[in-house]
Amino acid sequence: MQFEHLVAVNQPGNPGLRALTRDELWRGLLRRALSALDFVESLETDIEHEAGEGYSERSWGYGNFEVRVRIEHAAPDTIVVRTHPLPDDEGGRLTITVEEPEAGHLFVRFAYQTPLPEGVVDGVDVAAYLRSAYRDTDVAIIRRIREMVEAGEL
C-alpha cells in the first residue's frame, strides 16, 4: 500500500493560531523521530542502538511487540523512517518532508509505503482503516509540536 497526504501547519488567515517557523517545525519532527515516547501513547520503549551523522537505529516496543527502525534525517526538510523486516512482514517506509510553497506557508507531506495490500481482505478494508489512522496520527503530531513550541519545549 502506498499512501501520502499533506498536513497544513500554518493557517495565515487564522489570527488565533500562532504560526510555527520552519526551524520549530523541523525540531519538532526530528524530536518525534528520535524521542518517540514524547508523541506515541501506546509506545512503551524507545531504545537507541546506534547513531551517527544523519541516522539512528532504534527499537520501538509496544507491549510484547517490538519493531526495529532506521531513521535517516537531512535538515531542514526530510526524515525517512524504515522499519526492518520481520518474519511475516517485509518492512515499510515513511518519508516525512517539510514543504514551503510560499514564505510562511508550511506543510508536511507524509508518504507511507507498506507491504499491506489494497482492497478488502476477509471482509475488512484494512488499507482504508490504516490510511485514516495515519492521517489522524500525523495531524496529532503537528498538534503536539505546536503544544511543545508554545510550552517552550522546542
Give 56-100 pLDDT, tens digit per residue.
999 999 999 999 999 999 989 999 999 998 777 788 999 999 999
| Number of domains the chain contains | 1
**Assigned domain for 8 exists:** yes
Q: What is the mean pLDDT of residues 110-119?
A: 86
- C-alpha 4: how far from its chain's center? 12
28: domain CATH number?
3.30.530.20
Hey, CA dihedral for 93, 24, 149, 101, is it positive or negative? negative
**Assigned domain for 107 exists:** yes
User: Cell triple for residue 116?
Assistant: 499491506
**Assigned domain for 110 exists:** yes
**Assigned domain for 17 exists:** yes
Question: What contacts 123, CB < 8 A, 6 or more positions away?
Answer: none
pLDDT (tens digit per residue) in 42-61 = 999 999 999 999 999 999 99
Average pLDDT for the chain: 92
**Assigned domain for 52 exists:** no
**Assigned domain for 24 exists:** yes
Which range of residues forms the domain containing residue 9?
2-39+77-151
**How far apart (Å, rounded) are the C-alpha atoms in residues 56 and 89?**
21
Answer yes or no: pTM beyond 0.75: yes
